[in-house]
Chain A
Amino acid sequence: MTIKCDIIVVGGGHAGCEAAAAAARLGVDTILLSADPMALGRMSCNPAIGGIAKGHLVMEIDALGGVMPEITDRTAIQYRVLNRSKGLAVWSPRAQCDRELYSSEMSRVMHAYKNVRVESGVANGIKVHEDGTFGVFLDKERRIHSKAVVLSCGTFLNGLMHYGEISTQGGRIGEAPVNGLTESLLNKGFKSGRLKTGTPPRLDGRTIDYTLLERQDGDANPILFSVNSEKTHLPQIPCWITYTNPDVHKILESGLDRSPLYTGRIKGIGPRYCPSIEDKIVRFADKERHTIFVEPEGVHTDLVYPNGFSTSLPEAIQLEAIRKIPGFETVEIVTPGYAVEYDFFPPHQLRHSLETKLIPGLYFAGQINGTSGYEEAAAQGLVAGCNAALAVRKDDRTLQIGRDEGYIGVLIDDLITRGTEEPYRMFTSRAEFRLKLRLDNAHSRLASKAHGLGLIDNQRFAYSVQEDERLKVVLDGLKAIRRPAKSGEKMTLYELLKRPDVKLDDLMPYLEQSVLDRINENRTTEFIRKVEAEVKYSGYLKRQAYRAADQQRNRGKVVPKDFKYYNIKGLSAEGLEKFSRIRPDNIGEASNIPGITPSDIAVLLIHLKRLDGRGTKKK
């Protein structure tokens, strides 16, 4: 039986759901394929969305009309803004979610999404037809015929799970791996690699003594992720903190000889920023304790997630060690921690649209590209889905976000021009335009792009435009009025507000009533924060804007797909090797490649220009 559609999205995780939803918003007939259609958008690891720099990604996904932000707001059980003591640019909202509810809510939304059909099944091969269309094989009987394919298979490609000395095939606990797809791609000329990630055991909350733990409450006035959200929907509950100690470490050490990490069973590379507990005690042996965040998995469950205790040691060792932690003396493990190895495809094989360079119409998103994290996956899914839809519609535009426009842009550009050797996670320090890429302006950064492509509707766009205008009125109002500063010198309110100790509240008495009215229009606290950030960072924003303008100019210069680098005289050996391997699409990408010198770029520019010259001559 052959099912037909325009786009098939393979995998119903965070990347897959956003990909299908984005393609569908553009009006393209989309199939979302999942092994378990009632459990889409599952959180395989910690039950939380957002966090440092990831919170920014979620805000940007909201600005692009994605599904993750609203579902997070509907299923959150605790909100906390990390970095609240620092400037607004690095405020990072994080929400603890009800794990089961999140997945069932995502499934409900996707099943109801216009233009999306959710199909049950596992893909084990892809065929590219001569006319450029695709056949995706599910099993002997079924195949899906489509014009474009988005692969978002998470950790399932040849997934191998490790518990101590036991290894079993699978992409997530209790779920079978996907075999055959990697091989099918290798046959088409792709290169693959192997990564590893891990997760802690899940605990029975009824067996924890909370009196021995530190309580950590959420924010009283949470920052929600979606502009569509007005309030929290679930009861807000606390998290808890405890610590490991030398007794715990001693027991963990006794199990190292059976650790798949140290016996060489695990070949894949794991994330250094998220090491397993056994890795931490080996690499940082002098540290006497490590923090464990004790996070509830939901409102209606006793399951608890001990964040910071990721491990792949034998289950018996896990239990013995964790019971030495205060509060966990009699704890029961419901499911043990484990490590999972999976195939990924080094992302230099992609374009910025997330289309593969080898096969037009084939897109990759999420862990298949070497990233980790739900938010990173969702962001890529959205971009891949949108671009696949544009391609299917024969629209020659693409959704591309610049490094100065969003963390999503930084994420994709890093992947493609710099590659990754370990699972890639977003950090604010990766964004050179960090002061500009804030959560308060995500919509104004991306709304017109999103609206132009059809990712958000008119109403959402109008709201964003109105907010921009409101900000401008207030900034102009601040510039229009002068007051004496402490020094006696007269300054505009705008200049005064730049000082670290001055708040907008202090200047309210001097502002025109019409300006005050705009400030108090709606969501006033949020708006005041935005005005303050805009003014206080303004000097630095200007500096960054110059840098951004340079990048923008360079980005425009396109390198032809079949450009022959070995013909170029004057390139350094390293430049020649890297350009030939990575094959940058444009000068912006080329100059971001590590090891590339200004003279390589100059030489490349000259030869591109020569090419242009020839082209015009012929005409």
Chain B
Amino acid sequence: MIPHQIAGYSESTTIVAEATPQGRGGISILRISGKDAFNIVSNLLDRDLPKPNRTTYAKLSNNNTLDSFIDDVMVSVYESPRSYTGEDVVEVSTHGNPILVNEALEAFYKEGAHPAKPGEFTLRAFLNNRMDLIQAEAVSDLIASKSKEAARQARKQLDGGVGKTANQISDMMMNILSSCELELDFTEEDIILLNREEKLLIVERIINDLRRMISGYSRARNLRKGVSVAIVGSPNVGKSSLFNILANEEIAIVHHTPGTTRDVLEAVCEINGVHFTLYDTAGMRITPDEIEDEGVTRAIRKAESADMIISVSAPDIKDQIIVNMTRKTDIIEVINKSDLATERKEENATYICSTDGSGIEELKDELFRRVVKDEKQGQGTISRERHYNAVQCAIKAMKECREDIDQGQPEEIVAEQLREAVSAMDELTGKKRLDGLLEEIFSEFCIGK
């Protein structure tokens, strides 16, 4: 019986979404619409926004991280009411790489934009008189069908482990929330409530479970949008040869001179329908050559940010730099020049020979297997942007909740955080849990003078 938020489209928010069809294309256009659109975008650019109806080149970067550059973009500005939605609109064209697009979207979310709901741009356009009446029926049908599709997808996801996990987490949240609400609304009842330590214990578990839910997210998402793979190793082990073979194209220059590859090269390949973005990197070694040294730094950085690493070595090359990559669970050890190997003692390694192509199919299978295996494991993990954002929002609220309990803040404040978290989880469970809060309390506790 507790209304928590208005259901529906809130016009005071600023929304963002990819306006071009998802997936690979030359460019992707991100559309940001709403009263904060100009602020949100200009906060992430290296220069001022262009004048309305003009386009400018700019660098888009993420304010909050050191390695902040995201992409070179084109930015177009449309001022209210002369825009698609009738609101202030900025369109940002990025390169058509799904990973970049996601990074950019996340940067916009951090600045306060909300992911657009199905058909929301069109709805706003309509409400702001940017469309004629004849189009109304079409817009309405569009939104209804898009919502149905979203609901169908959500149901499909709920059939799996996600719904179950989300429900269990919601249950735990409701458990603490009930206890807080009992303390507030039924203060004179003779009921045993959770103490501070018990609450903290549950909160801790919730945060851990939420984190586990999104831990597999990047991988699960990349199955749809592409998995990034960095090829790293010492100079002359044959990284570029491998890169070219996988890319099926002579992109990288292959030469026996160590240090031939300096900048990071990029190529795309598809294995059993999964898109991989491959990065060829400079050989890891200590070098007096400044340019080559920069190449090594970039190689390390790429290795850290990639979803997966192919670590190449060769029997005739001694490694100079061992990159610490404990963070990565996904390193595929590849030993090249298998023809030179006297014995194959590395059990977990894939042996290939880039000159005759042997072992390449096995390597491709291994790449695919790693991705798919993770997808299967992650039954309780999520794969949708909106769900990911919801869980992030729940984590934020639960962290604040933990701090509030810890500092001894009163129950009404703790409850406020929990309500925020429960509402966020509703996005995954498809329920309105707060509506049933009093019902749950009445059915579980003996209330009443």
Contact = CB atoms under 8 A, between A and B. Distances in A.
Interface in A528-550: 537, 540, 546-547, 549-550
Nearest to A588: B6
B1 A414 contact: yes
Interface stretch (A1-9, A154-162, A269-277): A269-277
Contact of B190 (A289, A418, A550, A614): A289
Interface string A541-571: 0000011011101100000000000001111
Given A287-B446, A597-B147, A602-B123, A52 B410 contact: no
B437 to A, nearest CB: 6
A284 B449 CA distance: 14
A570 B12 contact: no
Contact of A570 (B6, B7, B8, B143): B143
B184 A274 contact: no
A575 to B, nearest CB: 10
A428 B143 contact: no
A434 B414 CA distance: 12
Interface string B144-187: 10111000000000000000000000000000000001011111
Given A274-B449, A570-B143, A598-B9, A290 B136 contact: no
A242 B10 CA distance: 52
Given A291-B188, A570-B140, A613-B133, A602 B8 contact: yes
B420 to A, nearest CB: 8
A290 B188 CA distance: 11
Nearest to B128: A609
A605 B9 contact: yes
B7 A273 contact: no
Interface in B1-60: 1-13
A403 B446 CA distance: 29
Interface string A15-52: 00000000000000000000000000000001000001
B252 to A, nearest CB: 49
Contacts of A610: 133, 136
Interface residues of A, number: 71
Contact of A273 (B12, B133, B448): B448
Interface string A564-597: 0000111100000000000000011001101011
Contacts of B190: 289-291
A430 interface: yes
B143 A87 contact: no
A124 to B, nearest CB: 34
Contacts of A571: 144
A270 to B, nearest CB: 10
B2 A432 contact: yes
Contact of A428 (B118, B185, B188): B185
Interface string A599-618: 11111011101100110000
A597 B146 CA distance: 13
Contact of B11 (A274, A284, A293, A553): A553
B126 interface: yes
B2 to A, nearest CB: 6
Given A90-B184, A570-B144, A598 B117 contact: yes
A83 interface: yes
A53 interface: yes
A83 B442 contact: no
Contacts, number: 182
Chain B's interface size range is 35 or more
A82 B186 CA distance: 10
Interface string A393-434: 000000000010000000001100110000000011110101
Contacts of B1: 414, 418, 430
B188 A569 contact: no
Contacts of A570: 140-141, 143-144
A300 interface: no
Given A275-B448, A429-B2, A613-B133, A596 B7 contact: yes
Interface string B422-440: 0000000000100101100
A83 B184 contact: yes
B438 A427 contact: yes
A293 B449 contact: yes
B385 to A, nearest CB: 17
A594 B4 CA distance: 11
B147 A598 contact: yes
Nearest to A595: B432
Given A283-B446, A290-B446, A432-B4, A606 B181 contact: no
B407 interface: yes
A435 interface: yes
* Most chain A CB neighbours (cut-off 10 Å) among B2, B188, B410, B416: B188
Contacts of B10: 550, 553-554
B356 interface: no
Interface in A493-547: 500, 537, 540, 546-547
B141 A602 contact: no
Contact of B185 (A53, A413, A432, A594): A53
Interface string A148-176: 00000000000000000000000000000
B441 to A, nearest CB: 8
A428 B147 contact: no
A307 interface: yes
A422 to B, nearest CB: 9
Nearest to A84: B187
A605 B438 contact: no
Contacts of A553: 10-12
A271 B449 CA distance: 11
A272 B449 CA distance: 11
B3 A432 contact: yes
B40 to A, nearest CB: 16
Nearest to B445: A284
A129 interface: no
A65 interface: no
A591 B127 contact: no
A203 interface: no
Nearest to A570: B144
A603 B187 contact: no
A592 B3 contact: yes
Contacts of A85: 410
Interface in A269-311: 271-275, 280, 283-284, 287, 289-291, 293, 307-308
Contacts of A606: 123, 126-127, 136, 139-140, 143
Contact of A609 (B3, B8, B126, B189): B126
A67 B449 CA distance: 27
A89 interface: yes
B412 A597 contact: no
Contact of B435 (A594, A597, A602): A594
* Most chain A CB neighbours (cut-off 10 Å) among B6, B189, B416: B6
A140 interface: no
A86 interface: yes
Contacts of A284: 446
Given A599-B118, A613-B136, 14 more contacts: A52-B184, A87-B409, A272-B447, A272-B448, A280-B448, A414-B1, A432-B3, A432-B419, A550-B6, A553-B11, A554-B8, A568-B140, A569-B140, A606-B127
28 contacts: A86-B183, A86-B184, A271-B448, A273-B447, A274-B447, A283-B446, A284-B446, A307-B449, A418-B3, A428-B184, A435-B416, A546-B12, A550-B12, A553-B10, A554-B8, A570-B140, A571-B144, A587-B8, A592-B7, A598-B117, A599-B146, A599-B148, A603-B144, A605-B123, A609-B127, A610-B133, A613-B136, A614-B133
Closest 6 CB pairs of A and B: A570-B144, A601-B8, A599-B147, A87-B410, A284-B446, A550-B10
Interface of B: 1-13, 117-119, 123, 126-127, 133, 136-137, 139-141, 143-144, 146-148, 181, 183-190, 407-413, 415-416, 419, 432, 435, 437-438, 442, 446-449
